[in-house]
Chains A and B, each alone.
Chain A
Amino acid sequence: MAEGSKDQGGTGTSEPEEDSPNMIVYRKMEDIVTRIQDEKAGGVAIRTVKSFLSKIPSVVSGTDIVQWLMKNLAIEDPAEAIHLGSLIAAHGYIFPINDHVLTLKDDGTLYRFQSPYFWPSNCWEPENTDYAIYLCKRTMQNKARLELADYEAENLARLQRAFARKWEFIFMQAEAQVKIDRKKDKAERKILDSQERAFWDVHRPVPGCVNTTEMDIRKCRREKNPHRVKKSVYGVPDDGQSQPSPVHISSQPARKPTKEDVQKEITFLNTQLDRHCMKVSKVADSLMTYTEQFMEYDPFASVVEPSNPWVSDDTTFWDVETSRDPSQQRVKKWGFSLEEALRDPAGQDQFLKFLESEFSSENLRFWLAVQDLKRRPFHEVPPRAQEIWQEFLAEGAPSSINLDSHSYERTSQNLKDPGRYSFEDAQDHIFQLMKSDSYARFLRSNIYQDLLLARKKGKSLTGKRLTGLMQSS
């Protein structure tokens, strides 16, 4: 095994790379495994276990680890602790001594801790030549515990074909490694061999297992080793024939803030200081009120009638929602705010019907026209804007709306260069007008109340019928 000369564990000063997303998680896992191994500080006892004729050095049981995790990370459910422990194993920080598959079991299975030399935070990206040397070396050592698994034998065969021309070199390296290993103490070798194997289990996982070294391509640029300069596990010099890393995003240098950037920031901060903000107690109340109001409509918080289609495979709930007759529950929502009413196409229809009965539908029609304008493709906007002006605002307009002179002036100015937002001001005014005036009356109107109380036309509710009966008797 290579001499651990380059210990890139990185202690002391924190470089910018230390804050990269992957590093953050690695450091947390390293903190956990360090604490587990610290017997004096409440860690687990690492011991030598006697087994048949031999001794197994430096191990802990799966249960020990699970118990430690539950106690020290405030985990109540053992399943959660097993899940977290398995992830720590999958990243190679702990490993079962007798299995290539890196998971944690809550039983007497024995586990060992990985050497910091092999930690993922060292940004290993071992080459196939290194892997070939490793597998080759394993075949040279006549030990039952070092026999190749099926998938490893397959990998070795594939590598032999790929590296046919330089196999002699690889063989020599493997021999050299075996010689170095023989010089080591027997117990130490057991430990080192297992750690080396665990390293390869992370970087060349068993088929079907998650490869935890896979990176999110969006985060690759900021890694410690962005161009993934190869660093050989066994000290083999890079012969220049190694393939370039498949990750080739042009790495942009981190933008340093210029004077203009900071000036902009200062302007921004000043405007933020001028902003009027609400107290947390007030917004908290507002958030609670909103949530409370909608809880009965939330399928994750309340029961869905007749049933949630995804659970029962019955689509009645959806059929009812899309029907022309809105349910009472749905009509109730229109009463929460004008926005809610307009969000529902049926609510929009009913509100329009009501306004028509009051001969003030032009307000809503204007609002809807402006909404539609904003959704048009770019080239359709100017002519459509003109049409809206003609219909609602021009002198003698057929559906004349009432705007205060200030808004009217502004809108008129905007129309000189008509755009998607030319009517923003006007639309806002009309919305406020509808909200404070027509909407309140709508909620009190028969049109709305009939739907809310599910009064059918022609028939009357029980209450009315009773009154009728009483009167006749």
Chain B
Amino acid sequence: MCDQTFLAATFGPCDNCSKASPLMNIYLKNEPINYCSFCVEMMACQGLQKGETLTSLKKESETLKKKLEEERGKLTDVELHQVAEKVEAVAALSIKTRRVLKGHGNKVLCMDWCKDKRRLVSSSQDGKVIVWDGFTLNKEHGVTLPCTWVMACAYAPSGCAVACGGLDNKCSVVPLSLDRTENLAAKKKSVAMHTNYVSGCSFTNSDMQLLTSSGDGTCALWDVESGQLLQSFHGHTADVLSLDLAPSETGNTFVSGGCDMKANVWDMRSGQNIQSFESHESDINCVKYYPSGDAFASASDDATCRFYDLRADREVAVYQKDSIIFGASSVDFSLSGRLLFAGYNDYTINVWDVLKGNRVSVLFGHENRISRLRVSPDGTALCSASWDNTLRIWA
């Protein structure tokens, strides 16, 4: 597979300030220079003439955007669904609800699978976080948080802890104890601190780092043990609603989406915004990487889901229908990336053929909005969380 090109290609001392950091390899008057991101910005600002107004800058920005659109347009020699015509259609799916998880007293807002493929954690508007064995429907752990609207929860890679956060503007890590009688809430540890609600959280490849997105417009990377902020990511101009880490073992990037209708790809090492995509017409509620890491999908309140390829640096598919008028809240890919599951505010889950662009199935069952859905780690099942206070597992 082709390597992703991102800007921070090397790591070392900056040509300008000598600090060791991820470097941007850019050209200035045909001369290659290796500056750290801070020095690049300083240089960019210095290059401006005095008296340049906001209006003239905006004009310049608009011109560049048009030019960029033109350049990208030249590379759009064909549409994805046209190339996919030669691929066989997906066999008819017979997906049914296999489990219904009841126990939350209010809307279920988030869920995440454990790496063991059967356990999962869910969080609710009622302040409760529950860890389930999805297979047996057994509730294994329960934590009550002091705040309502726990909008984000995640399972640690080791399976020994969960992270959760929401309206309290924090994200906390709770170690899971084998001792059922132990009060888990007492062991809860605050890790992330934002200045507005926490909308999403994810552990990186280890239990030691936590990545969060927030209504304060930023994302942040935290060291779990010390609670230290390792890196913050600025660039969104409104609430960030979702994030997803690139699936690569060697990757250091993640994508975020928010109320500014933009999806941004970030370098975790430098905090730099590497790529940005703006084609949705309303809030982006969810972003998720395609399994190879070369592309990602997004779900939006404009009732569409879109597919972006990072190498082509543009949108390559839109999944929409006249009869789908409610916003899409969550998306995830099947293991091969052929199917895209999308949960909507009209209580349904639509299954799309990623390559051909058509809808292959619609799943009814929930009695209120879908807030989140996730395919299990081995791809055998799909779990959906809903405002109807339940979670459903489909296969």
Q: Known: A266-B61, A280-B316, A371-B249. Is A379-B225 also a contact (CB below 8 A)?
A: yes
* B309 adjacent to A219 (CB under 8 Å): no
Name the CB-closest residue of A to B67. A273
Counting CB contacts under 8 A, is B160 at the interface?
A: no
Q: Known: A24-B282, A291-B337, A300-B339. Is A210-B367 also a contact (CB below 8 A)?
A: yes
B188 smallest CB distance to A (angstroms): 18
B217: chain A residues at CB < 8 Å are 255
A310: chain B residues at CB < 8 Å are 98-99, 135, 380-381, 393, 395
B276 smallest CB distance to A (angstroms): 7
A292: chain B residues at CB < 8 Å are 87
Q: Known: A80-B362, A280-B312. Is A376-B197 also a contact (CB below 8 A)?
A: no
Q: Which residues of B are at the interface with A, using a C-beta cutoff of 8 A?
A: 1-2, 5, 7, 10-13, 20, 22, 24, 26-27, 40-41, 44-45, 48, 52, 54, 57-58, 60-61, 64-65, 67-68, 71-72, 75-80, 83-84, 87, 90-91, 93, 95, 98-99, 117-118, 135, 149, 151, 167, 196-197, 199, 204-209, 215, 217, 223-226, 228, 230, 237-239, 241, 248-250, 252, 259, 269, 273, 275-276, 281-283, 290-292, 294-295, 301-303, 309, 311-314, 316, 321-323, 325-327, 334-339, 345-348, 354-355, 362, 364, 367-368, 378-382, 387-388, 393, 395
B334: chain A residues at CB < 8 Å are 298-301
B26: chain A residues at CB < 8 Å are 271, 274
* A272 adjacent to B68 (CB under 8 Å): yes
* A280 adjacent to B77 (CB under 8 Å): yes
Contact of A300 among B197, B282, B335, B346 (CB under 8 A): B335
Name the CB-closest residue of A to B222. A378
**Stretch among A43-51, A94-102, A411-419, A459-467 lining the B interface:** A411-419
A236: chain B residues at CB < 8 Å are none
CB proximity to B under 8 Å, residues A203-227: 210, 214, 217-219, 222
Complex CA–CA separation, A417 to B295 (angstroms): 34
* B313 adjacent to A414 (CB under 8 Å): no
Q: Taking chain A's interface residues, is the majority helix, strand, or loop, or is none over half, making it mixed? A: helix
A-B contact count (CB 8 A): 311
* A271 adjacent to B283 (CB under 8 Å): no
Complex CA–CA separation, A282 to B84 (angstroms): 12
* B393 adjacent to A74 (CB under 8 Å): no
Q: Known: A280-B79, A286-B2, A294-B336. Is A421-B11 also a contact (CB below 8 A)?
A: yes
Complex CA–CA separation, A297 to B378 (angstroms): 9
A429 smallest CB distance to B (angstroms): 11
A 267-311 binary contact with B (CB < 8 Å = 1; else 0): 111111111111111111111101111110111110010001111
For A21, A416, A425, the residue with the greatest tally of chain B CB atoms inside 10 Å of its CB is A21
Complex CA–CA separation, A107 to B10 (angstroms): 67
* B325 adjacent to A283 (CB under 8 Å): no
> Interface size on A (CB < 8 Å)?
105
Known A260-B45, A274-B27, A377-B226; 12 more pairs at CB < 8 Å: A25-B325, A75-B323, A218-B199, A268-B273, A273-B71, A287-B309, A287-B337, A294-B335, A298-B379, A310-B393, A414-B11, A416-B20
* B335 adjacent to A299 (CB under 8 Å): yes
Counting CB contacts under 8 A, is A38 at the interface?
A: no
Q: Known: A281-B78, A421-B269. Is A288-B379 also a contact (CB below 8 A)?
A: no
Q: Known: A83-B364, A376-B208. Is A290-B335 also a contact (CB below 8 A)?
A: no
Counting CB contacts under 8 A, is A8 at the interface?
A: no
* A278 adjacent to B225 (CB under 8 Å): no
* B72 adjacent to A299 (CB under 8 Å): no
